[in-house]
Amino acid sequence: MKRNSVKELVSGKMKKIVLIIHTIILFLLMSIFGFGQSGDSTIIKMTKTNEDWKMQLTPLQYNILRESGTERPFTGKYESNFEPGKYHCAACGNFLFKSDKKYHSGCGWPSFSDIEAKQNIVLLEDKSIGMLRTEVRCAKCDGHLGHLFKDGPPPTGLRYCINSAALQFISDKETKKEAEK
């Protein structure tokens, strides 16, 4: 009996040690692969009522972001903006695109060949107009941003076709000015 209880004690300790080693390995793997790192990787979801959004957004922004509308081509304020800076979600400020990934696609909407951080957006199947498209939504506020097509330039071959009204552009000049304040 005594031996058994010693054995149990030892095996209990071993189990604890194994658990600790597992935890350490898990943390090491997480740090190597960049999980759980700070920055924009932790998305805290934002939930607001339709009334709140109506108060905050312009009617056009509300139609696009909350009702999955689309602005008319070549009418958006960022379609031909190529100033250096960052594009954020107009509803919640979530950082989405950098100007160095913006290119002139000629489609009539701001076009980007890549997203800054994949976890900042959500891609969904959209069959709304009788064809299969990939919808791009903001991961933070669930706002509709635009669509993703596979006819973009290399190396990604992607075209994030995003409504101007769903974006808020902050130029590098403005960011610099803010930093100098």
Strand partners, 112: 102, 160
Q: Which of residues 71-130 bind Zn ion (CB under 5 A)?
A: 89, 91-92, 94
Q: How far is the CB of 52 from Zn ion (least distance, A)?
A: 13
Active site residues: 161
- Which structure tokens are listed for 156? 């990604």
Q: How far is the CB of 156 from Zn ion (least distance, A)?
A: 22
Task: Between 142 and 153, name the residue whose CB sits nearer to Zn ion.
Answer: 142
- Which structure tokens are listed for 28? 């090491």
Q: Which segments of 7-158 are extended strands (E)?
A: 85-89, 95-98, 102-103, 111-112, 121-126, 133-138, 144-149
Q: What Å distances lie between residue 95 and 6, 37, 55, 175, CA to CA?
A: 57, 16, 22, 13
Task: Between 31 and 119, name the residue whose CB sits nearer to Zn ion.
Answer: 119
- Which structure tokens are listed for 171? 């130029």
Q: Looking at 76, 85, 110, 143, which residue binds Zn ion (CB under 5 A)? A: 143
Strand partners, 88: 95, 168
Q: How far is the CB of 151 from Zn ion (least distance, A)?
A: 25
Task: Between 92 and 167, name the residue whose CB sits nearer to Zn ion.
Answer: 92
Binding-residue total with Zn ion (CB under 5 A): 8
Q: Looking at 57, 138, 161, 162, which residue binds Zn ion (CB under 5 A)? A: 138
Residues that bind Zn ion (CB under 5 A): 89, 91-92, 94, 138, 140-141, 143
